[in-house]
Structure 1
Amino acid sequence: MDSHSNQDKGNTTMDEITLKAADGSGEFSAFVWKPAEDSAGAVVLIQEIFGVNDALIETAEALAQQGFIAVAPDLFWRQEKGVKLTDKSEAEWKKAFELMNGFDQDKGVEDLKVALDAARALPGCNGRAGTIGFCLGGRLAVMMATRSDADVNVSYYGVALQNLAGEFDNISAPLMLHLAENDEYFPAAGQEKLLDALEGNEWVDVFIYPDAQHAFARPNGVHYDARAAVIANGRTTELLAEILD
């Protein structure tokens, strides 16, 4: 793990580190935001289909300001390094979906496990680490709950989560799901199947936000819903503080 650069933002700092893929196929970048605290839990932030973009960076900075180390790996590196798109143009949406369709989720989880191990080993980390994912990353956060030793996982509007039901028995740490009632990418029928599959699972808390659409918590996003975002983010922070501090 190599560190490349550093810059200050308020009482937090940001570095870029280089990680080696577990399958030996290459190296990828991850960006690290650190709080002023000497000892903190770490959160691996899992990108949407837009890469490590301004919305994810804003989320990372907020986490660091709340006292957590935030680590955002570049998951599309096998296709294109440094992807940084918005949800504001048709061309960017088209490219984002192309990247998503070409993305190997299983390899992505392996990259996330590398990032999780690296986060725990960072100077200033107290050894505890979890994940937060959005959209595609929300699905990957659930996969981290079933396939990794993360201390806590949080999924925002993950897609097709019901299709992971066969792995739910592997969950052994707190998992929080934030779902949008009117999510066009994860409609009611799929949500109902998910809830049925999770019934009785003591590790999982599911919250559904009335009238909210997909990506309701994306800063400056086209479907940003301030009330739903504040409530969801508050629940997330409370859980992270309970598990990671």
Structure 2
Amino acid sequence: MTNTEIPTLDGGDKIPAYVVRPDGPPRGAIIVQQEIFGVDAGIRRKAEKWAAEGYLAVAPDTFWRQKPGIELSPYVDDEAQQAMSLMMAHDFDLGMQDLEAVIHWIRSEAGVAKVGLVGFCMGGRIAYMTAARTDVDASVGYYGVMIDQMLDEKQAISHPLMLHIPTADHFVDAAAQMAIHQGLDNHPQVTLWDYEGLDHGFAAEIGDRRNEAGAELADKRTADFFALHIG
């Protein structure tokens, strides 16, 4: 596991990333897209789990242009507010260019052809955007926010996308969940899974947001999905 710097598309800067390599030749690559709290211990643990499954795992620092290297807690009010402010100030379009640079680096420099992305919370939204705006091979979003406001991009999704939707998500209400289902249930590239009674963050690696049964089920579905589409 190493801290790596990945060139931006224009080559003028470097994107910090936490990279974990498997023991042998990678079966594929998984980009682990952070929540609003940074590339923290939980995100690093997820990257390490993917590497243990044989994938090259790359967790880029989404907020590097604003405040690189942050690790914030959802359980400390001031830190949670800081994380929310960083998300609100984040340029998602520029962030997508950074992810294109990461995908390019994985394929050209790391030499891994098949690339998937898994994201959480804000990263779940980014997983949807990545499916619609890049040539990533497959994407998975956990409790993605604001996807209901981006359904006009669904026609551009040409590679498989899976979304995990907890029905008691206090950031994504019932109306938003209904809109996501109405917009995506019949999309040939999209798979939606509902988790009855679970809340936002149910698959977090650390802290009391985690629901063990729900996390294990969602993670098994994600692993099977990537095994099918990435390798």
User: Which is strand-richer, 1 or 2?
Assistant: 1
Taking the aligned partners of 2:203 and 2:4, their CA distance within structure 1 comes to 27
Instruction: Determine which of 36, 42, 51 is the counterpart of 1:64.
Output: 51
Instruction: Determine which of 111, 119, 138 is the counterpart of 2:106.
Output: 119
TM-score, normalised to structure 2, is 0.96
Kept after mapping to 2: 8 A contact 1:41/1:128 = yes
Please tell me whether residue 107 in structure 1 is matched to residue 94 in structure 2.
yes
Taking the aligned partners of 1:109 and 1:233, their CA distance within structure 2 comes to 24
Kept after mapping to 2: 8 A contact 1:155/1:178 = yes
Over the residues paired in the alignment, what is the CA RMSD in angstroms?
1.3
Q: 2:6 is matched with which residue?
A: 19
**Which digits, 9 at most, give the CA deviation of each residue in 1:138-165, with x for residues without a partner?**
0001000000000000000000111111
Query: Partner of 1:50: helix, strand, or coil?
Result: coil
Instruction: Determine which of 191, 199, 205 is the counterpart of 2:191.
Output: 205
**Which digits, 9 at most, give the CA deviation of each residue in 1:147-203, with x for residues without a partner?**
000000000000011111110001111100001110011011001011111132110
AA in 1 matched with 2:61: D
Please tell me whether residue 53 in structure 1 is matched to residue 40 in structure 2.
yes
- Segments of 5+ residues of structure 1 without an aligned counterpart are 1-13
Query: Partner of 2:28: helix, strand, or coil?
Result: strand
Query: Partner of 1:79: helix, strand, or coil?
Result: coil
Q: 2:79 is matched with which residue?
A: 92
Please tell me whether residue 138 in structure 1 is matched to residue 135 in structure 2.
no
Taking the aligned partners of 1:66 and 1:162, their CA distance within structure 2 comes to 32
Please tell me whether residue 149 in structure 1 is matched to residue 135 in structure 2.
yes
TM-score, normalised to structure 1, is 0.91
Paired residues for 1:148-227 under 5 Å: 148-227=134-213
Taking the aligned partners of 2:226 and 2:188, their CA distance within structure 1 comes to 17
Query: Partner of 2:152: helix, strand, or coil?
Result: helix
Taking the aligned partners of 2:177 and 2:110, their CA distance within structure 1 comes to 40
Kept after mapping to 2: 8 A contact 1:151/1:173 = yes
The 4+ residue runs of structure 1 with deviation greater than 6 A are none
**Which digits, 9 at most, give the CA deviation of each residue in 1:34-65, with x for residues without a partner?**
11121320011111000100010011111111
State the Cα distance separating 1:122 from its structure 2 match.
4.4
- Segments of 5+ residues of structure 2 without an aligned counterpart are none
Taking the aligned partners of 1:23 and 1:188, their CA distance within structure 2 comes to 41
Kept after mapping to 1: 8 A contact 2:26/2:56 = no
Kept after mapping to 2: 8 A contact 1:116/1:130 = no
Please tell me whether residue 243 in structure 1 is matched to residue 222 in structure 2.
no
Kept after mapping to 2: 8 A contact 1:39/1:124 = no
Query: Partner of 1:87: helix, strand, or coil?
Result: coil
State the Cα distance separating 1:18 from its structure 2 match.
1.2
AA in 1 matched with 2:145: V
AA in 2 matched with 1:240: F
Paired residues for 1:36-47 under 5 Å: 36-47=23-34
